[in-house]
């Protein structure tokens, strides 16, 4: 544990780890081994989010996706991950980073195919205009005044 810190500084280990997903049932299992600590929320950030993510062996960061209005950046802290995009797969290790500009239709996610947990920072926008498309599955995440919700590609809600 780090020495006692006061905001705006914090010890991420003191934040509760979040688990689970809001994905509809057919798409949840791949991310069951994902947990995260919401660093940006803990320090009151409103323009972008920062999460410290841990992936158990065999789990994914998300379903493969891209955002209409939000940039994303990931930075690998420890372990080894496989980045999967439209271009294929590539290995990422501690110290490597990847960025995904908004509206670039290139689905991406990370997979932990190793036998040890991995950790990375995920940094992204918080645009109320954003939608998230999942090219490999029948899923779109949308939002309105009441919050986020999922639809099939034909627009019907889950």
Cβ pair 100, 108 in contact under 8 A: yes
Give the pLDDT confidence of 65-94 residue by residue, as tens digits: 999 999 999 999 999 999 999 999 999 999
38 falls within a domain? yes
- pLDDT classification of 18: cutoffs 50, 70, 90: very high
Whether the per-residue pLDDT at 2 is higher than 90: the answer is no
- pLDDT classification of 3: cutoffs 50, 70, 90: low
46 falls within a domain? yes
For 46-59, what is the mean pLDDT? 98
pLDDT at 4: 81
148 falls within a domain? no
Question: Positive or negative CA dihedral for 101, 102, 104, 106?
Answer: positive
Number of domains in the chain: 1
83 falls within a domain? yes
Whether the per-residue pLDDT at 27 is higher than 60: the answer is yes
pLDDT at 145: 87
82 falls within a domain? yes
Residues 6+ apart with CB under 8 A from 146: none
SS (H, E, C) the chain: CCCCCCCCCCCHHHCCCEECCCCCHHHCHHHCCEEEEEHHHHCCCCCEEEEEEEECCCCECCCCEEECCCCEEEEEEECEEEEEECCEEEEEECCCEEEECCCCCCCEEEECCCCCCEEEEEEEECCCCCCEEECCCCEEEEEECCEEEEECCCCCEC
Question: What is the domain-level CATH number for residue 46?
Answer: 2.60.120.10
116 falls within a domain? yes
Which structural domain range is residue 69 located in?
30-130
155 falls within a domain? no
**pTM for this entry:** 0.94
């Amino acid at each position: 544990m780090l020495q006692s810190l006061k905001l705006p500084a914090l010890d991420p280990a003191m934040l509760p780890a979040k688990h689970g997903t809001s994905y509809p049932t057919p798409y949840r299992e791949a991310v069951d081994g994902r947990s995260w600590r919401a660093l940006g929320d803990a320090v009151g950030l409103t323009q972008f989010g920062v999460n410290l993510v841990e992936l158990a062996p065999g789990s994914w960061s998300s379903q493969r996706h891209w955002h209409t209005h939000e940039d994303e950046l990931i930075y690998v802290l420890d372990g080894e991950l496989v980045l999967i995009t439209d271009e294929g797969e590539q290995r990422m290790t501690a110290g490597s980073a990847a960025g995904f500009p908004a509206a670039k239709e290139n689905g991406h996610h990370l997979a932990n195919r190793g036998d040890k947990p991995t950790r990375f920072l995920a940094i992204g926008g918080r645009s109320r205009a954003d939608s998230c498309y999942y090219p490999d599955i029948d899923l779109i995440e949308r939002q309105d005044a009441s919050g986020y919700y999922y639809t099939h590609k034909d627009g019907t809600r889950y």
